[in-house]
Structure 1
Amino acid sequence: MEDQLELAILAGASDEDMEELILHNVVGVENSSKPIEPVFDFDNIIDEQFYVNNFRFTKKDLRRLRHVLRIPQKIVTETRNTVDGQLALCILLKRLSYPNRLIDLESFFNYESQSLSQIITATANFIMENHGHLLDNLSAHQWLDRNRYQLYALSIRNMGGAVPNCWGFIDGTVRQNLSAKYPSRRLLLWAQESALCQISIYFMP
């Protein structure tokens, strides 16, 4: 149970989530009021606005995103449970699209908080292990030159950005560590070793 509690803490579980996890492991208490069927069904929901509202991508783009990220047919968690790769990506995106507690996602996906935490961690780890190197040296990308830096920075500034040379960021919270290892200075805030909630604020060199 200690490993499960550690994962829940790293995933940002609330006191309510932790209490339910402890009760489930110690006395086998489960919430019998949970719906039998989940709210989300990727194969049957066709409303594009539903996908944009919940995941910030259209259904077509979610399929494309899974393809380009090379997410496998099945994601395997550390407890050897498997979940459909497309569903795992949606769970991760739903968690990151808004400050959702794990318990808030239970009825949406019909998974318990513990399982959701493991799925999110496994999916984020897969993405970082296979594609994290793309952030190591931003100057190595042909599509990212000074003109694009300036275009992105201007767009952010026009939308109310606080500084004129910030050209990109990923939202989130946690503790601060400043790194100037690469041409674009990066402000990194880490939630956990897997960088699930890594925040990067990029400034023009």
Structure 2
Amino acid sequence: MDSESSSSEDEALVVVALLAGEAKGAPPCRFNFTRPSTDSVWRDKFRFEKDEILQPVEYFSLEDPFPTTQRYSTSALEALSIFLRRMAYPARLSDLEDLFGHDTTAISSISNAVLDTLYDKFHGLLQFDYKRLTTATLSAYASAIHAKGAPLETCVGFIDGTVRGTCRPNKNRRYMFNGHKVYLHSFQKAH
């Protein structure tokens, strides 16, 4: 009978331990807009200065508190800051936990929610604008570029690219090899 009572006590202790969970220590602090304090740090981490981040929150008309489908609670300023930090430099989500005080799932969800919101509001601007880029305006652009000394008379824009290194892919290797023992992703746009 003693063995039965001790096993039930052991089971009860196990249940209590599972329900209580292990203490993880102090949770990281929430995002504080006053930290980091210098503009150069803001420029490095977010590609904007601190004062410049306030303007897009207003211009984009982001809701405050900012809604996510997973119901994370965050301000519009914090949501945009998370998104800008993710776009400024590809970092591990775990590296951003200390800065924003959210776990990796929340950071990913908030960043994706901002991206979806901005796409829903502005996806029309990503399409070719037939109303503004008429034959007359394209001719005016080409004339202005040629007048500045370009040899072509039909140039209406310039290609700009960003190149990011990557590991050697298993498939379609030749598309990413640059000929100098390096594999790269190339992102291009026209100005």
TM-score (norm 1): 0.54
Higher normalized contact order (CA 8 Å, seq sep 6+, divided by chain length): 1
1:32 aligns with 2:19: no
Q: 1:92·1:120 contact (CA, 8 Å) conserved in 2?
A: yes
Which 4+ stretches in 1 moved above 6 angstroms?
27-31, 170-174
**Structure 1 residue identity aligned to 2:115:** A
Match of 2:47 in 1: 56
Per the alignment, do residues 55 and 44 of structure 1 end up closer, same or farther by CA in structure 2, a change over 3 Å counting?
closer
Per the alignment, do residues 74 and 171 of structure 1 end up closer, same or farther by CA in structure 2, a change over 3 Å counting?
farther
Task: Provide, for residues 83-121 of structure 1, a one-character-per-residue CA deviation record: whole Å limited to 9, x for no partner.
Answer: 100100000111111111111111111110011111011
* Residue of structure 1 aligned with 2:59, choices 65, 68, 85: 68
* Residue of structure 2 aligned with 1:167, choices 147, 154, 159: 159
Per the alignment, do residues 54 and 85 of structure 1 end up closer, same or farther by CA in structure 2, a change over 3 Å counting?
same
Per the alignment, do residues 34 and 56 of structure 1 end up closer, same or farther by CA in structure 2, a change over 3 Å counting?
farther
TM-score (norm 2): 0.58
Point out where structure 1 has 5 or more consecutive residues left out of the alignment.
1-26, 152-164, 175-198
Q: 1:167·1:203 contact (CA, 8 Å) conserved in 2?
A: yes
Give me the whole-angstrom Cα distance separating, in 2, the residues matched to 1:104 and 1:50.
16
**Structure 1 residue identity aligned to 2:93:** L
Point out where structure 2 has 5 or more consecutive residues left out of the alignment.
1-18, 146-156, 167-185
**Structure 2 residue identity aligned to 1:201:** Q
Structure number with larger C-alpha Rg: 2
Following TM superposition, by how much is the alpha carbon of 1:167 offset from its aligned partner in structure 2, in angstroms?
3.5
Provide the aligned C-alpha RMSD in A. Answer: 3.7
Task: Provide, for residues 176-205 of structure 1, a one-character-per-residue CA deviation record: whole Å limited to 9, x for no partner.
Answer: xxxxxxxxxxxxxxxxxxxxxxx963347x
Per the alignment, do residues 45 and 59 of structure 1 end up closer, same or farther by CA in structure 2, a change over 3 Å counting?
same
* Residue of structure 2 aligned with 1:133, choices 111, 114, 124: 124
Per the alignment, do residues 138 and 121 of structure 1 end up closer, same or farther by CA in structure 2, a change over 3 Å counting?
same
Question: Which secondary structure does the structure 2 equivalent of 1:202 belong to?
Answer: strand
